[in-house]
Amino acid sequence: MGRPYYIFSNGRIKRKENTVYIENENGDKKAIPVEDIDTIHLYGEVDLNTKLLNFLSQQNKIVHVYNYYGFYAGSFMPRDRNVSGELTVRQVEHYLDPERRFFIAFSFVEGAMFHMIRNLREYKDTLEFQEKIKTELANASETKSINELMGCEGRARDAYYQAFNTILNNGFSIEKREKRPPGNPVNALISFANSMIYSTVLSEIYHTQLNPTISYLHEPRERRYSLSLDIAEIFKPLIADPVIFKLVNNNMIRLEDFDEDVNCCYMNETGRKKFLKEFDQKLTTTIKHRKLKRNVSYRTLIRLECYKLIKHLIGDELYTPFKAWW
């Protein structure tokens, strides 16, 4: 299995036989055998041609593109080879049935809140915020609509982010969550981290038969893969947020790793590289899976979550959200 490659420099990417060549503006080249690639993440201004895209499509490789500020912009995904008309029908049926849709949507929220509380337990003086999240989880179980459910999830996440001021040090703080655009370094970190979780989940969905546009918690809309947003809810606090806490509290990422442009705060290239190094390390970290009885990586846990959802949709096994046990 290949690994992700993150391209920051401006330049071009070319294909020659079974090798991908990355060439920067200075003419420096790096050759990567295609079998070593899982996904390519483009942060710089990169030229590529249809010859390369056709080759990557044949090799089943995904390219994610990010904008000037480092936030997800879009993806090139090869023609889906894991198409299942039957599963797509099942996905739509579960979306159209209010009760079945709500069950799946609540499961995503439950998994997300579980991991929020799990994170806060690692830090003192967060009991107040833990209790707020627990209250919202209890409220969520009594809701009858997706809008009410998302209201509970939103209030729980607000409480969770308020706890960041207790957890983070070295001059990092957050007054409120700001997404578009992020207004300070903590918001920029969260947005960048969530963007990486979203694209990672999308890559894992692609390798299954799930249709990424049919979702349950988030409303399916044009121009977005909303199922990625759904599944990402479980893994943002499990994978992304601990990386943020480690980088900030160990002084690995600093305020000078952020820049401001008009009303937007964003991580500069130095900051992104620091984050992605730790993020990549987190994804490849393994744990002993209780059911499979073998070591699996955090990235594999995302793929397994997709398979669990498939089993639920086809009626093989009731879906339960992933909850870390270690």
Task: Give the angle subtended at the CA of 269 by the CAs of 57 and 116, to the nearest 5°.
Answer: 80
CB within 8 A of 112, min separation 6: which ones?
153, 156, 157, 233, 234, 236, 237
Strand 62-66 and strand 72-76: pairing? antiparallel
Closest residue by Cα to residue 260 from 71, 43, 69: 69
233 is in an annotated binding site: yes
Dihedrals φ, ψ of 264, to 5°? -115, 135
Residue whose tokens read 């490789």: 61
The neighbour count for residue 70, using CB atoms within 10 Å, is: 22
Spatial separation of the C-alpha atoms in residues 272 and 224, rounded to whole Å: 24
Binding residue ranges:
153, 218, 233
Binding site listing for Mn(2+): 153, 218, 233
